[in-house]
Structure 1
Amino acid sequence: MNHSLKLKKPLAVFDLETTGTNISRDRIVEISIAKAMPDGSVEVKTKRINPEMPIPIESSLIHGIYDEDVKDEPTFRQMAKSMAQFLQGCDLAGFNSNRFDIPMLVEEFLRVDSSLFDVKNRKFVDVQRIFHQMEPRTLSAAYKFYCDKTLDNAHSAEADTLATLEVLDAQIARYEGVKIETKKGEEIEPIKNDVEVLHEFTSSKIVDFAARMAYNDKDEIVFNFGKHKGKLVTDVLKREPAYFDWIMNNDFPRDTKQKLTQIKLSTSNTLFG
């Protein structure tokens, strides 16, 4: 297939099938990547992965992948380097990718080698965010609405990936130049055939991918869960240093721990010096 996105660099649209939805504990069992190139071509790679843990039956019933199907497949560690090379220089896109697929992929890479896959200088386009803000539903509904097609083999990574790319293409064709009103009453035109603009619309306010931290209205980083929800991260670290240790020693995603450590180190002179 081809696409009509205006790209300055490749856009890797991808989808994961996993053992579950816990970013810290669960593992990838299948990944499909549709790498949309600036020349309009698309390169598709789909691979099953041995998760090195049993696949719960409730997950297998959703995506149709069972322990027997992946027992002879390579582990993520074995294919991480080639996958990182395939994704090198790519911006990233998917359906609900900011909340699930990107955090899960980042976590798998961090588990193997924290230097292997860097998300800095990449743009993130979450097709679900565009869909929910412009036409509030699921990937199957989006595919029917924008492409007037029925999504066969839903929850197959490749079918979902290719449908997501088609939906993104159709969203841009439909919404480019369309104005919407923000919560502040301002009129904006959020959709353009430009990955940087789409990144700003769908992904500009990410602190950590699991959203344990977030930006408040003043663009200050606050905790987004638990007893300190809404409080400035820097204030909590200053007043309750043990909270940092508690997060580091408990079941939080490595990405969250990494971002929190960066915040702590960047303010260490004033907070802990």
Structure 2
Amino acid sequence: MNTDSSRSLSSPKGEAPEWSRVVGVFDLETTGVDVARDRIVTAHVGLLDASGTVLRAHDWLADPGVDIPEGAAAIHGVTTEHARAHGQPAAEVVGEVVDALRALFDRGIPVVAYNAPYDFSLLKHEALRHGVAPITDPSPVIDPLVVDKRYDRYRPGKRTLTHVAQHYAVALDGAHEASADAIAAGRVAQALAERFAPWLPETVEELHTRQIGWARAQAESLTEYFVRIGRIDPDDPVDGSWPIR
């Protein structure tokens, strides 16, 4: 089985790997994009069966303890006033999200997170901020962004969750709402598992390991491009750490 070869979308489908039949899903909406500084506003951890049906779901609304910038509120719809009036204390939310994810990992259930290093890194910093034991080595994780780039590397167009979900005919109603994004990412992962079944690793542990290398290679390629167009300095490469920074 050649799991390293990039394949076109015309490749034949096969039976999806066993690990795609039950997947956890995880997403955060936050006050911004700085994983070390910004805070959780909403979170979702859930479980999908092989058909993408939601088996279990938990949503959180946090009072992040800081003002939510207008730009962030415009994206996810949660204002500072709403979070303060209706949100749980941030420390409680962080602890419960960590516990929910740890329970999935302890059972060997893979957790799907689109652009996983963002969500897991921000959660780690939030845990440290609030005195919660952090998840420092989340595993097994499935990142549809990394997998899609690996197996359909040369497809033109954006790779946001909205665009990738549309490409794989996955409905995404309410984009930038934690539950909608988490569930759509899980279904995209399952669509990828079916589309590229003949070339994907047979075990989720092997898939997790391979994504570490794929993400690193993708970051190196992006660094070369950004240097070439003058967007970044060669001494400031794109961080390819995965699934957490």
Do these two structures clear the TM 0.5 threshold for a shared fold by scoring above it? yes
Considering Cα pairs closer than 8 Å and 6+ residues apart, tell me whether 1 or 2 has the greater RCO.
2
Kindly provide the CA deviation profile for residues 141-174 of structure 1, in whole angstroms up to 9, marking residues without a partner as x.
221221x244221111111111111111110000
How far apart are the structure 2 equivalents of 1:105 and 1:126?
Answer: 16
- 1:34 alignment partner, SS class: strand
Cα offset, 1:76, TM superposition: 2.2
Letter in 2 for 1:94: A
Mapped to 2, the partners of 1:155 and 1:41 lie a distance apart of 18
- What is the SS of the residue equivalent to 2:56? strand
| TM-score in terms of structure 2 length | 0.68
**Counterparts of residues 53-64 of structure 1 (less than 5 Å):** 53-64=66-77
The corresponding residue for 2:192 is 171
What whole-Å deviation, never above 9, does each CA across 1:68-103 have from its counterpart, x for those lacking one? Answer: 2211311221233333322224243211112x1111
Q: Does 1:110 align with 2:128?
A: yes
Instruction: Provide the residue aligned with 1:20 in structure 2.
Output: 32
Q: CA deviation at 1:119?
A: 3.2
Alignment check: 8 A CA contact 1:33 1:161 kept:
yes
Say which SS state the counterpart of residue 167 (structure 1) adopts. helix
Deviation digits for residues 96-133 of structure 1, max 9, x if unmatched?
A: 112x111111111111225x233337222211111222
1:88 paired to 2:102: yes
Match 1:6 to one of 7, 15, 18: 18
Who is 1:141 aligned against?
A: 163
Letter in 2 for 1:123: P
Q: How far apart, in 2, do the equivalents of 1:226 and 1:24 lie?
A: 22
Read off the aligned partner of 1:203 and give its amino acid letter.
I
Secondary structure of the 2:88 match is coil
Distance in 2 (alpha carbons) for counterparts of 1:161 and 1:5? 20
Matches of 1:165 and 1:50, distance apart in 2: 27
**Residue among 79, 89, 93 paired with 1:75:** 89
Counterpart of 1:97 in structure 2 is 116
Over residues 168-214 of structure 1, what are the superposed CA-to-partner deviations in whole Å (9 max), with x where a residue is unaligned?
Answer: 1110000011xxxxxxxxxxx3x23532122123235889xxx9xxx
How far apart are 1:229 and its partner, in Å?
Answer: 5.9
Cross-structure match for 2:58: 45
How much identity, in percent, do the aligned residues show?
24
Q: Which residue of 2 aligns with 1:122?
A: 139
In structure 2, which of residues 206, 216, 222 is the aligned counterpart of residue 197 of structure 1? 206
Looking at structure 1, the residues matched to 187 and 82 of structure 2 have their Cα atoms a distance apart, in angstroms, of 28
Residue 34 and residue 193 in structure 1: after superposition, are their counterparts in 2 closer, same or farther (change >3 A)? farther
Residue 182 of structure 2 corresponds to residue 161 of structure 1? yes
Check conservation: 2:98, 2:135, Cα contact below 8 A: no
SS of corresponding position for 1:32 = strand
- CA RMSD after TM alignment: 3.2
Partner AA of 1:176 in structure 2: A
The aligned length equals 197
Gap regions ≥5 residues in structure 2: 1-15, 220-231, 238-243
> Within 2, Cα distance between the matches of 1:93 and 1:149?
15
- TM-score, normalised via structure 1 length: 0.62
C-alpha offsets along residues 234-266 of structure 1, whole Å, 9 cap, x if unaligned? xxxxxxxxxxxxxxxxxxxxx97xxxxxxxxxx
